[in-house]
Amino acid sequence: MDNRNVQVEERHVEHKSDSSLVASTFIKYAAYIIIFFGALYFLIKYIIPMF
């Protein structure tokens, strides 16, 4: 039976939050929310009173 000495290299990766990536993601989801509520407002204000 072979006894091998295997050295494992450990890597510690630090995840740095990129502020521009965070900002663009926030803007994207904020736009989704604004569009959603705009469509909801349109439905409540104009479509539902027709019935």
Q: How many Cα atoms sit within 13 Å of 13 on the Cβ side?
A: 2
Model confidence band, residue 1 (pLDDT cutoffs 50, 70, 90): low
The span from the CA of 12 to the CA of 23, in Å, is 26
List, for residues 17-34, the tens digit of each pLDDT value.
Answer: 688 999 999 999 999 999
pTM for the complete prediction? 0.56
